[in-house]
Structure 1
Amino acid sequence: MVLALVLSVVLLNVGCAKTAPVRLPVVFSDHMVVQRGMDVPVWGWSEPGAHVTVQMGSAKAVTTATDEGAFLVCLPPQEAGGPHTITVTSENTIWVKDVLVGDVWICSGQSNMAMAVNRVRDAEKEIARANFPDIRLFTVKRTPATKPKDDVEGSWVACSPETVPGFSAVGYFFGRALDEHLKVPIGLVNTSWGGTPSEAWTSPGTIAKTDAFDPIVKRWQEQVVTYAERK
């Protein structure tokens, strides 16, 4: 009896160890904004072949994870508003709460976009009045990579005097103007990085197809080869 019980526990643990829980990229997290008036894509990873159900309000979609464990569904277009909860269920369940539907903008550029609110004229005054709960901010952590990444580091926060000081000033004032005129939730994703040329944001495959970039590719390859020695 004891042996049978031990074997049952071992087999149960082995079975659980093989099951990959469903997970989402961090951009799908509490306080996020999804784009109004168009399909809402939701993607992530799960056990290969696992059934995945995604629901937001009455909208629901079901799919099966690929052999690589990736999944993608599209919920039908939503009207501006909220808050909503996005529920993703497979072997486990994830709840993404306080989701708003509105307009989502990418704030990209160099130092002019990266300059923070706490550096503008009358910064103290502007920060004190930055209480806009329907404006949501997401700053992508700056992490160099040699290949495109399928996830980033960051988190969504509601715009407030506590969260806005380090956010892109151009992005914030742009979002505030939109909020005042459109009266819909605004999501701002700050991907700015001062001093980075467009080539740094271009895929290696695209650069390799352009002869003008050959010297850059050659120099990069040389830098990679000698990196360990220079580190």
Structure 2
Amino acid sequence: MMDKAELVSRLRDLSAGEVRADEPLSAHTSFHIGGPADALVLPGREEDIAAVLRFAAETATPLTVLGNGSNVLVWDKGIRGIVLVLGNVLKYHRQEGSRMVFSSGLSLAAASRLAGEAGLTGMEFAVGIPGSIGGALFMNAGAYDGEMKDVVTAARLLDYDGTVRTVGKEELDLGYRHSVLQERHAIVLDITTELKPGNPAAIQAKMNDFSQRRQSK
């Protein structure tokens, strides 16, 4: 692996977002612990993410991908190579009738609230689960009466060679705390969910109930 100074310099030459040398990972995890990353990259666009992935593959540089950093433990010695932080760039959503598209950087709580505000039911189970949409798809997160496989119909993925692909629910192979993403190298860009029209007051009441039950544990 190239030395740290050369790594940081070459990453900055890519113009693929902000590059920080020896960045404390405690600033990027929910537990606020963790030593420095050799080179931390904060991309501004999807194209930046693809550029960093290709660079890491071409130079055989270790790459760690971090979403919102929820429930992630990083040891005090930090992480060697590149740490690619996605939470800030992949935060968007859109509604298409009863379907909602959520970017991978959105928190599950935010996605649940957005669906409820749109009068759509199906995402209430996610309101109290820590973490992001991308992480939730990776492990097919769930709680109470629902899980991601109940609502996800497709996902847009960025392979480590820079190729963007849309895959359907069957290919995602969602099972108990499992998805195909645990066996293949790909970054979740966004997911498409199929929800149902519901009563906004009833949806909010259900989310309040789930939140209170989680907090009381």
Structure-1-length-normalised TM-score = 0.28
The answer to which structure, 1 or 2, has the higher relative contact order (CA under 8 A, 6+ apart) is 1
Q: Which has the larger radius of gyration?
A: 1
Structure 2 length normalisation: TM-score?
0.29
